[in-house]
Structures are given as structure tokens and as C-alpha cells.
Structure 1
Amino acid sequence: MKEVFPSDVHVMTSGRLRIPVDSTILAAASPVLESIIDRPRKQQITIPILGVPCHAVSVFINFLYSSRCDEEQMDKYGIHLLALSHVYLVTQLKQRCTKGLAKRLTVENVVDVLQLARLFDAPDLNIKCMKMLCKNFKAVEETEGWKFLQDNDPWLQLEILHFMDEAASRKKRAKRHMREQNIYLQLSEAMECLEHICTEGCTSVGPYDMEPGVKKGPCNKFSTCQGLQLSIKHFAACKTRKANGGCSRCKRMWQLLRLHASICEHQTDNDKCKVPLCRQFKLKMQQERLGEDETRWKLLVRKVISAKAISSLSLPKRKREEEPRIVMNQNDMKGVGLYRTMKG
């Protein structure tokens, strides 16, 4: 390395190479070197940096001067520079080495780099190694590094297996959470479509007070709205609703009406909700005692309300042929006579 600044300190490498350096530069870059330089001395001080290749020490000193380290140097001496940056507390170089080694991880070297990351307190690199081990465990098992680990460091092997088990559990929980959120989003969308059908009407079902002969085109959530309209038609015409244990499709429709009542924001007589049975469900919920089933129901309601708040789903419009419209009369909401077919 060329001497750019006046040198009052020498760095001694394992190969007996003496590198002249400026103590001011070293002290500013490393608190460890600063403490060594500040010791009382009678003659020019020599700082031994041993245990790594001479060229790695040269690259290290050059970084202290210039704060630069190119990719070729990182390829050759990345591990040695990580060790030196850790020992001499050169934070900037340590971060550079952590990122550089993370990009150079392979199935063959991941176990070795993991051990070094733990030894030199590099948590980001440690996590990168762990994730790569999880992703390529079968291939890593065949490497010499893993076999050495099995024979010499069973505790680290156990920690890796525990991390893999936790990662698998987290992945399962994340998938389950996504499935649940999808269900809540679907229910939230169904609530919007139910209110839309009962208030404005859609292609084949609409409110009882809708002007006769008015035809509605598909809405922007028609895939959900169409399924709900088919359920409403079935609910209106089903004759086995109460026989033989009841109809499962009707029970689901009943639950959707109850769920709507639980999240409906219409409160006053002047602001009446047009969804059938909404007021009756609200009165019943006020009279019921809070039991285990009711607690679960309230939890479901909160989840659907939360999904409604964050939902921004918008399904494309679809064209379909007009069908005879079914209209809903909130004043005739008893038994099968809840709906009637609109004439004309």
C-alpha cells in the first residue's frame, strides 16, 4: 500500500510485512486501535495484526483510509475482513462484509459462514444463513460442513433444527391467517352486496319498493352478488327449511342476515335499514345473555368489521342476461313469504 500520510505507526502482519500507517487515521477509524495507540510509548509503536493473510490486512488498512472495498477484494478476503472489522470495531466495514458475504452464500459454504456469523456477532448474516439452510436443507446435509457440525457442535445443530421447526410453524400460521383473512374479506363483501341488493337491487333481486320494470345491470362485485342472489331465491322458495333438520343453504342465509344486523350502522327509525330482519336481530341480540357461542359470534363480527375497513377489493363488471326480478318486502318477512316475484 502506498504511503499517502506521514507514518508514525507500523502494522505487522503474519508474513512479517510491515505496513507504515498514520496513527491519526487508525485512531479515528477504530476505537480499539485508538486505545493501543494512546498507550505511553518511548519509540515508534508496532501493532501486530496476525492470523489473517497479509493481503487481507492491506485491504483492511486501505479501508480505514478510504472507506472503500471492491467486489474482488470481498470475494477473496470477505471472511477475514469480517473478523478484522469485528475485532477492531470498524462498524462500517462489518456492515459491508455482512452484506457481501450474504450475497455469496452457497450450499457448500453456508454452514461455515453461519459459524463465523455467530462467532463475530453478525445477526443479519446469521439469519440469512439460517434461512438458506431451511430452504436447501437436504442439499446442505450432504456437505462436509454439515458433517463436521454434527461431529463437533451438536448444540448448533440442535439450534438449526429448532429454527427450521419454528420456521415451518410460522409458515403454517401465516397460511392459516391468510385463509382466515380471505374468509373475513369474503364475508365483508357479502355484507356489502346484501345491502346493495336490498337497497338498490341488482340483476335479478331488488327491494320491494323498486319501480316496476326497472332493470339493473351487473354491479362491480357481481361474482359475489350473483351467488347471494341465488341464495336469496333459494331462501324464498325452499320448502324444507324447517323439515328434517332444516336446509343448510337456508341456515347460511340466516347467518348472513344475522351477521349484517351485527355490523349494521343504521340506528334510528328515520334511518331504517332495508335488509330483512335487521331490526329483529338487533332487538334479540340486546336481550340475549353473553354466552360462549355469543362471544365467538362477537369475535367474528369484529373480524369482519376489520376486514371491511381494510378491504379495497373491486371485482370486474360482468354482463349477463336479465332474469325475472325477485323483490323483498320488509313488511312481509315471515316464513317463505319473505320475497315475491315482481310482475311486469
Structure 2
Amino acid sequence: MKETRVIKRLLYMYYNQQQCDVEFDFNDGQSVGAHIVILSASSSVFAAMFQSNLSETKTRKVTIVDAEIRVFKQFLIFLYTDNAPKMAEEGMARLLFELSDKYDVANLKHECVDMLLTQLNIGNVIDMLVWAHFHSIGILSEKAMKFLVKNFRKLCNRPQWEELLKCHPDLFLRATQQLADLLPESSDSE
């Protein structure tokens, strides 16, 4: 109960931008403030950034060029509360994963992977497989591959299947090898 009250007070300070001691500036001219102590406690990257001789330490301004403010705000909310309320929105878990990877926030990375595992479907499985492979997310890559193989008949005529062959032949090869494992053994007498 006491922890909940503390979190609510910290979140209140964030939402109302009270006593913020760092400002994140975005390409679209927007900005959002935060509290260095919260960021440093949650991320080794932020801790190092604000304890060094980097310009961010002196200016208390950080320019964010690789994330939209709506995603970064969810990231900050997670750092304050251990919860990202909009994580289930389309594409949000992937974007939050990338931020959590960049800023070394392991618990958010795990939550994003858990969310992505629940979001696998026919429409996104190939894209998810490629993305998981690129980010070396073994469990997501493995589940996506199993899902792809299980639903091969529904996927093989989609443009994404052809794109997988052209752009990611290593993943295409793994998929066809797993498909081959499902075929019945042929006899040598034929």
C-alpha cells in the first residue's frame, strides 16, 4: 500500500511536470520533463549519462531522435511505475522493446516480449519473425517460427512469404527445414 502511494506521488509529479530536472526534446518541437533520480534508478544507461561529463549532465537536456514522444512517454511511465498502460496498442510493444534495449531496462524488455508473444497472428507472424531474429529474441523467434510452420498453408501465398525468401533467405531456409520435418518419411523403393 505504501509503495502504491509513493508511486502515485511520483507519477503525479511526472504528469504535472513538477520539479523535473531533465528535459527530453523531440524532432517535432515537443518536449517532456522527467526526474534524473527515477531515470538513473531504472536504467544503467541513464545513470551513466547523468554521472559523466556528457553535455546532458550539464545542460539537463536530451535530444531524442529515434522515438516518437507518445512512445517515449510510455517508456517514462514504465520507469516511474513498472507499467506501460498502452503497451498492448498496435506496434507499441516493439517500440518499447527497442527503447528498453537501448536504455538497458531489462524488466520492460521481458514484458514487451511477453506481450508480443500474445499478439502473434497470421497477419504479423512473418514480420514478427524477422524482427525477433534481428533483435536476437530467441523465445519470440522460436514461437513465431512454430506459428509460421503450423499455419504454412495460410501463409505460403501471401506476399510476405515471398519477401521472406528474397530478403531473409536464412529464415526462409529454417522455415522450409522445419516444414520438411513434418512431412512423412518417403520410402526408398519408389
Both structures adopt the same fold (TM-score exceeding 0.5): yes
Distance 1:74 1:115 in 2: 20
Distance 1:16 1:164 in 2: 50
Distance 1:17 1:8 in 2: 17
Match of 1:18 among 22, 27, 31: 31
Q: In structure 2, the residue corresponding to 1:73 is in which secondary structure?
A: coil
* Larger radius of gyration between Structure 1 and Structure 2: 1
- Equivalent residue for 1:136? 151
- Equivalent residue for 2:89? 75
2:36 and 2:50 in contact (8 A); partners too = yes
1:55 aligns with 2:79: no
Cα deviation, residue 56, structure 1: 0.8
Please list every run of 5 or more consecutive structure 1 residues that lacks an aligned counterpart in the other structure.
173-344
2:100 and 2:108 in contact (8 A); partners too = yes
Cα deviation, residue 3, structure 1: 4.1
- Equivalent residue for 1:85? 100
Gap change, CA 1:130 and 1:5, over 3 Å in 2: farther
1:101 aligns with 2:116: yes
Gap change, CA 1:141 and 1:49, over 3 Å in 2: farther
Alignment of 1:188-199 (within 5 A): none
Alignment of 1:180-259 (within 5 A): none
- Equivalent residue for 2:160? 145
Q: In structure 1, the residue corresponding to 2:28 is in which secondary structure?
A: coil
2:87 and 2:112 in contact (8 A); partners too = no
State the percentage of identical aligned residues. 24
- Equivalent residue for 1:35? 48
Distance 2:159 2:67 in 1: 23
1:85 and 1:94 in contact (8 A); partners too = yes
- Equivalent residue for 1:7? 20
Q: In structure 1, the residue corresponding to 2:88 is in which secondary structure?
A: helix
1:3 and 1:21 in contact (8 A); partners too = no
Match of 2:80 among 65, 70, 80: 65
- Equivalent residue for 1:161? 176
TM-score (norm 1): 0.45
1:59 and 1:69 in contact (8 A); partners too = yes
Distance 1:130 1:149 in 2: 12
1:46 alignment partner AA: K
Distance 2:37 2:143 in 1: 36
Distance 1:31 1:162 in 2: 41
Cα-Cα RMSD: 2.4
**Alpha-carbon displacement from aligned partner over 1:298-333 (angstroms, at most 9, x marks no partner):** xxxxxxxxxxxxxxxxxxxxxxxxxxxxxxxxxxxx
Once superposed, which parts of structure 1, at least 4 consecutive aligned residues long, lie more than 4 Å away? none
Cα deviation, residue 114, structure 1: 1.2
1:63 alignment partner AA: F
Gap change, CA 1:159 and 1:68, over 3 Å in 2: same
Distance 1:4 1:16 in 2: 17
TM-score (norm 2): 0.78
